[in-house]
Amino acid sequence: MLDPALCARPLSQWLVLKSTLSHWLMTPVLVVIPLTAFILLIKFFPKWRWKRYLLVMGSLSLAAYFFVSFPATVAIASKGLIAFLPEDPGRKADAIVILGRGSYMRQSRVDVAAQLWKSKRAPLIFASGAGDGADIVNMLKTEGVPKSVLKAETCSQTTEENALFTAAMLQPMGVKQIVLITDSPHMMRSLLTFRSLGFTVFPRPTPLPANLSPTRRAMMIFYEYMGLFNYGIKGYWQPHNAQMEPNPHVAQQQAVNSRSL
């Protein structure tokens, strides 16, 4: 059991800023109109020293936004995120782990997890994510999965915390091999993070919802590239023992420690 204080934490300022920035970028009118107005406004200052520099930066930013949102660019970038994913070997695992990513992502994950459990891929299903874990468990119950095989943590706010808190709860139970369920763009970052904590991971990516807007799809995909870079430079994928490295943020009743976030 994780320290209840973890669940009572407010969202970090960085996560709040990231959510606000994501909402802004995923709403074209909030990007295109301000950038266009900025470019036009600069032209009213013919003798301004920084005029040319600002015009170039504004124009490049507008062009980059359209380029990133272009369907062909999104398709190529999407394939890049899944090109090196290993295939699910179909072997039995110790647990099925579902990562939460919001209400609009839940149903496809629940459907896959329920099907895997009914085909006896693993005896346990574990849901991870603040705002998602409990709801995923309830949805699995309606799919006919018994309460006795369902566990969850509802404290993690990031992919790194998904992995840390899952390890803190499942590894003392002897869970080593997991079938990991998350959306396709998110899978590579998730797989590498869970591997770093000693799990053998069988990936089962789910597609993004068909009704997702093109801009939102594009921003999610390119956000994952930034996440891969960020996690890589922070060393989150270096192998380490979750029970040997001190971490004041992760606590179990049996004093299981993990790495510093």
The lowest-confidence range among 45-49, 124-128, 144-148, 184-188 is 45-49
Per-residue pLDDT, 254: 28
Q: HSE (CB half, 13 Å, CA atoms) of 261?
A: 15
Ordered alpha helix ranges (H), 28-173? 28-42, 51-69, 71-82, 103-118, 133-142, 159-170
How confident is the model over 131-160, as a mean pLDDT?
A: 95
Give me the residue label for tokens 């660019």: 73
Q: What percent of the chain has pLDDT over 70?
A: 88
User: 3-state class of 74 per DSSP?
Assistant: helix
The lowest-confidence range among 90-94, 172-176, 198-202, 243-247 is 243-247
Q: Above 70 in pLDDT, residue 246?
A: no
For the whole model, what pTM was predicted?
A: 0.84
Which CATH number belongs to the domain containing residue 190 in this structure? 3.40.50.620
Domain that holds residue 127: 1-261
Q: Above 70 in pLDDT, residue 252?
A: no
Q: Which two tokens stand for residue 125?
A: 């299903």
Number of domains in the chain: 1
